[in-house]
């Protein structure tokens, strides 16, 4: 068995390809949890409710659970592969070692765009929240949200620039508060603590499945939003003290947290808000947990969920900047993109050029596109990535069977999770096709064009053998 | 086969590559939006001339929640009655399936060619 030494204390940030300094190994399992849940938890505070609009409240619940299965498969597969391929770039680096350079380039772009669009969506929501607070506190005019959107992105980019430990410790604290806020809202409105205000049967009467079963399929599109981003834990691989332990632990604890949060969120909101209002995330309920708190009649809950929503958006945007910059940085380091992006800050040990470069891109999306379109682009990039993952793990097991290299975690029932994941991705592609077929084709057209550009032009600047940085034996079949 | 030596890319060429990628990205998002092809718009098939909660299909419990949110039957009219259109043609569905499969086949085929070069140079010293 080859010694992959993924728990090395000496190889600080690996620092491959001749870089002078690498990223700093300072993170623990709690930070990995905070990175994964922090990115995703905003999905319970906004965005998931578009699934209600696509098929009704019950359809959104079915989508929530099927998307939960999809992401459980993602977390299991990811935990095995990334606990072995412990390097920045996450799935990009996995693809580079297992499938090949062009797939890796595409996966790197999926990651960058999924997280940058999600960051933009978070900034839009933060700006909306400030405008709601302004009107609740007596401001009569129409508040310009743009300065707040810019401020959120700039502040979090600065935090990321200054160091990963402070960034993810900040995420840990605000994510924990946002999660507790959901629990408190559920306990306060469901009747567990005091009088309950839930009326599921009355609110759904006559509207059980307003679009029939095709609405259930359509709801899968935004069902992904309950969990989208949990796979981002892998981006911390080069900065955790013990990848073999911290990555599987943080990722699997994260998906369990999200399954609980997603179900409680659906139960709480659908029992208080009418489905048509809940399902319209643009003209109706932009922040459904906050709206539920408003209808509870409790000022304390309104403030708690207001802060919960704000903290969730900040945590998510923060994690997205972290992850998008790591993916961009890793591609720069390998010369898949100009090598200038592959630099690490000599003092803060962060991929500072990638962080700064992605700021204006996020701002263009946040200030120039509507929320549902931004979310759809993020979901589409995520969906393309999830479709790659079952192919990736099947090839991983085939090229390096168990016991040929040391794995930090071995996921059970292989290849069942891969097959289930592939089938659920197929269903979700159909769901996207039902509402956003043009974007789907536009996005795949974009990836085909950039793939041809990479294969026939960009790849000439990439050293061949040097891309393979894992100390593994030669893959079987080659 | 000789070991591959990657050429050095000029700064101007690097900048051009980045601009090319950014322009393509913005185009993929904004062109469908600007051309009005972004889809997913809801429409009201049968508007109510003088809407009431009953004519909008709302029970007293549902109407009470809308009123608590500050809506009247008039202001909630579009919100309640607007629906998505999920009709599609088999041709469009088949076209989407072909595009997705063709994309992944292209990825895997080109990736495999490149991957064999990587493995050969890394492990066989070629």
- The answer to whether the CB of A240 falls within 8 A of the CB of A25 is yes
Distance from CA of B35 to the nearest CA of A (A): 11
Distance from CA of B23 to the nearest CA of A (A): 11
Q: Which of A101, A206, A448 sits opposite B106 (nearest CB)?
A: A448
Residue with tokens 């979700």: A428
Torsion of CA A380, A59, A412, A254, to 10 degrees: 70
Beta-carbon separation of A274 and B66 below 8 A: yes
Core vs surface per residue A384-411: b (16+ CB within 10 A) or e: bbbbbbbbbbbbbbebbeeeebbbbbeb
pLDDT, residue A378, reads 85
- The answer to whether the CB of A163 falls within 8 A of the CB of A25 is no
Q: How far, in Å, CA of A171 to CA of A173, rounded?
A: 6
Q: List the single residue in A with minimal CA-CA distance to B107.
A: A103
φ and ψ at A24, to 5 degrees?
A: -90, 130
Distances (CA, A) of A152 to A14, A148, A275, B53: 32, 6, 31, 41
Residue B121 clears pLDDT 90, i.e. is over it? yes
Number of helices (H), then strands (E), belonging to chain A: the values are 17, 0
Of the residues B21, B28, B60, B97, the best mutation for testing chain A's interface (the one with the most A CB atoms within 10 Å of its CB) is B28
> pLDDT tens, A441-463?
888 988 999 999 999 999 999 99
Residues of chain B contacting A104 with CB distance shorter than 8 Å:
111
> pLDDT tens, A302-359?
999 999 999 999 999 999 999 999 999 999 999 999 989 999 999 999 999 999 999 9
pLDDT, residue A21, reads 59
Q: How far, in Å, CA of B121 to CA of A465, rounded?
A: 5
Q: B39 pLDDT band (50/70/90 cuts)?
A: low
pLDDT, residue A5, reads 42
Distances (CA, A) of A48 to A67, A270, B53, B61: 11, 12, 27, 24
Q: List the single residue in A with minimal CA-CA distance to B100.
A: A444
Task: Look at residue A402 and give its three-state secondary structure.
Answer: strand
Beta-carbon separation of B39 and A438 below 8 A: yes
Whether omega for the bond prior to residue A478 falls within 30 degrees of 0, making it cis, is no
Closest CA to A321 of A173, A117, A166: A117
Beta-carbon separation of A461 and B123 below 8 A: no
Residue with tokens 């990657």: B6
Task: Look at residue A8 and give its three-state secondary structure.
Answer: coil
Q: How far, in Å, CA of B36 to CA of B32, rounded?
A: 6
Beta-carbon separation of A373 and B33 below 8 A: yes
Residues of chain B contacting A284 with CB distance shorter than 8 Å:
79
pLDDT, residue A65, reads 96
Mean pLDDT, chain A, whole residue set: 90
pLDDT, residue B26, reads 85
Beta-carbon separation of A377 and B117 below 8 A: no
Distance from CA of B96 to the nearest CA of A (A): 7
Mean pLDDT, chain B, whole residue set: 90
* Cβ within 8 Å of residue A10, ≥6 positions away: none
Distance from CA of A272 to the nearest CA of B (A): 8
CA A286: distance to chain centroid?
Answer: 19
* Number of residues assigned to chain B: 126
- The answer to whether the CB of A186 falls within 8 A of the CB of A198 is no
Give the number of beta-carbon pairs within 8 Å between A and B. 192
Residue A316 token pair: 């998510």
Beta-carbon separation of A277 and B20 below 8 A: no
Q: How far, in Å, CA of A19 to CA of A435, rounded?
A: 46
pLDDT, residue A26, reads 84
Q: Which residues of chain A have pLDDT under 50?
A: 1-19
- The answer to whether the CB of B38 falls within 8 A of the CB of A373 is yes
Average pLDDT over residues B56-64: 95
pLDDT, residue B37, reads 65
Q: How far, in Å, CA of A174 to CA of A152, rounded?
A: 15
CA angle B29, B34, B35 (to 5 degrees): 105
> Half-sphere exposure of B38 toward its Cβ, with a 13 Å CA cutoff?
20
Q: Which of B3, B18, B38 sits opposite A438 (nearest CB)?
A: B38
Beta-carbon separation of B116 and A478 below 8 A: yes
Distance from CA of A180 to the nearest CA of B (A): 25
Core vs surface per residue A314-333: b (16+ CB within 10 A) or e: bbbbbbbbbbbbbbbbbbbb
Q: How far, in Å, CA of A215 to CA of A225, rounded?
A: 16
pLDDT, residue B126, reads 60
Max intra-chain CA distance, chain B: 80
Residue B1 token pair: 């086969």
Q: Which of B7, B83, B107 sits opposite A461 (nearest CB)?
A: B7
Q: List the single residue in B with minimal CA-CA distance to A110.
A: B25
Give the ranges where A271-370 is alpha helix by DSSP (H): 275-279, 288-296, 299-333, 352-368
Q: Which of A106, A370, A459 sits opposite B114 (nearest CB)?
A: A459
Closest CA to A379 of A39, A115, A186: A115
CA A206: distance to chain centroid?
Answer: 35
Closest CA to A294 of A310, A279, A305: A305
- The answer to whether the CB of A24 falls within 8 A of the CB of A165 is yes
Q: How far, in Å, CA of A79 to CA of A89, rounded?
A: 14
Domains of chain A (ranges; CATH) run 29-458 (1.20.1740.10)
Residues of chain B contacting A364 with CB distance shorter than 8 Å:
26
């Amino acid at each position: 068995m080859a010694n992959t030494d993924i728990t090395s204390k000496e190889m600080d940030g690996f620092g491959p390809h001749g870089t002078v300094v690498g990223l700093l190994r300072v993170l623990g399992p709690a930070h990995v949890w905070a990175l994964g849940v922090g990115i995703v938890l905003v999905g319970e505070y906004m965005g998931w409710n578009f699934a209600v609009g696509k098929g009704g409240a019950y359809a959104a619940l079915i989508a929530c659970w099927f998307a939960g299965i999809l992401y459980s498969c993602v977390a299991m597969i990811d935990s095995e592969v990334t606990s072995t391929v412990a390097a920045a770039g996450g799935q990009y680096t996995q693809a580079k070692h297992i499938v090949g350079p062009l797939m890796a380039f595409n996966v790197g772009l999926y990651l960058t765009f999924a997280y940058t669009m999600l960051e933009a969506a978070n900034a839009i929501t933060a700006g909306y929240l400030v405008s709601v607070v302004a009107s609740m506190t007596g401001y009569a005019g129409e508040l310009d949200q743009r300065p707040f959107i810019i401020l959120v992105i700039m502040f979090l980019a600065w935090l990321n620039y200054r160091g990963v430990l402070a960034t993810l410790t900040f995420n840990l604290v605000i994510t924990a508060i946002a999660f507790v806020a959901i629990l408190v809202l559920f306990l306060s409105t469901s009747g567990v603590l005091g009088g309950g205000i839930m009326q599921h049967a009355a609110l759904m009467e006559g509207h059980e499945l307003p679009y029939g079963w095709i609405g259930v399929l359509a709801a899968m599109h935004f069902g992904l939003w309950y969990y989208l981003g949990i796979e981002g834990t892998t981006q911390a691989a080069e900065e955790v003290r013990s990848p073999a332990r911290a990555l599987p632990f943080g990722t699997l604890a994260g998906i369990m947290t999200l399954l609980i949060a997603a179900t409680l969120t659906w139960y709480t909101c659908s029992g208080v808000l009418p489905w048509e209002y809940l399902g319209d995330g643009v003209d109706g309920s932009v922040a459904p947990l906050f709206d539920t708190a408003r209808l509870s009649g409790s000022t304390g809950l309104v403030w708690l969920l207001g802060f919960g929503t704000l903290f969730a958006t900040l945590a998510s945007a923060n994690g997205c900047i972290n992850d998008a910059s790591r993916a961009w940085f890793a591609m720069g380091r390998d010369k898949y993109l100009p090598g200038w992006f592959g630099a690490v800050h000599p003092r803060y040990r962060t991929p500072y050029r990638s962080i700064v470069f992605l700021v204006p891109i996020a701002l263009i999306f946040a200030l120039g596109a509507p929320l549902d379109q931004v979310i759809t682009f993020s979901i589409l990039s995520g969906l393309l990535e999830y479709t790659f993952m079952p192919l990736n793990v099947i090839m991983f097991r085939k090229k390096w069977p168990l016991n040929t290299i040391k794995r930090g975690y071995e996921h059970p029932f292989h290849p069942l999770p891969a097959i289930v994941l592939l089938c659920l991705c197929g269903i979700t592609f159909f769901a996207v096709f039902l509402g956003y077929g043009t974007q789907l084709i536009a996005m795949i057209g974009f990836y085909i064009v950039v793939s041809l550009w990479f294969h026939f032009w960009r790849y000439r600047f990439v050293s061949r053998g040097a891309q393979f940085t894992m100390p593994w034996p030669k893959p079987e079949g080659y | 086969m000789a070991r591959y030596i990657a050429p050095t890319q000029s700064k101007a060429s690097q900048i051009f590559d980045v601009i090319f990628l950014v322009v393509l990205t913005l185009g993929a998002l904004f062109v469908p939006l600007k051309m009005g092809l972004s889809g997913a718009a809801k429409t009201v098939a049968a508007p109510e001339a003088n809407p009431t909660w009953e004519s909008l299909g709302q029970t007293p419990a549902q109407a009470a929640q809308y009123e608590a949110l500050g809506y009247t039957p008039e202001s909630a009219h579009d919100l309640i009655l607007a629906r998505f259109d999920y009709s599609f043609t088999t041709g469009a569905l088949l076209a989407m399936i072909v595009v997705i499969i063709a994309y992944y086949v292209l990825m895997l085929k080109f990736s495999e060619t490149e991957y064999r070069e990587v493995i050969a140079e890394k492990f066989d010293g070629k």
